[in-house]
Amino acid sequence: MRDCDFCGIVRGEQPAQIVYETGTVLAFLPLNAVAPGHTLVIPRLHTPDFLSCPAPLAGALSAAAAHVGRAVRAAVAADGMNLITSAGAAASQTVFHLHVHLVPRWDGDALGRLWPLPSAATSGPDAAVAGQIRRSLASLTPP
């Protein structure tokens, strides 16, 4: 897509600190990193979000995220890592090209706990919602 910044990085038209690339994926450091080593892994093919991603591409993206994640963890001596992706504006997605955030974490870092948030806590799994999800899955084509 011509107006997508991440597609511009893929085409070499936008500058980026690229750390890994294959014919299918690209990994680079974001402009506004939340921690040293914070890295984005994207498919080269413009895909709006993970819900739109074809299964083979999702597999390649996942494998690349794990591979790059291991390298990031070693490079910055992280104690842990969050892998985060969002689908839609309601989920805080601001760039509508699928991307996985690899966010290195350290014990006691300033980012704190991401979840569960005390105000969002539930009383446990909801059987009705589980049933709705199972019915929705039955109507979808398997990956």
Q: Is 99 a catalytic residue?
A: yes
- Return the structure tokens found at 84: 């985060």
Which stretch of DSSP H or E encloses residue 74? helix 55-76
Sheet holding 80-84, edge to edge: 17-21, 25-29, 39-43, 100-105, 80-84
Q: For residue 64, which of 87, 39, 47 has the smallest C-alpha distance?
A: 39
Q: Which of 38, 97, 99, 101 is catalytic?
A: 99
Are 42 and 98 within 8 A, CB to CB? yes
**Active site residues per annotation:** 99
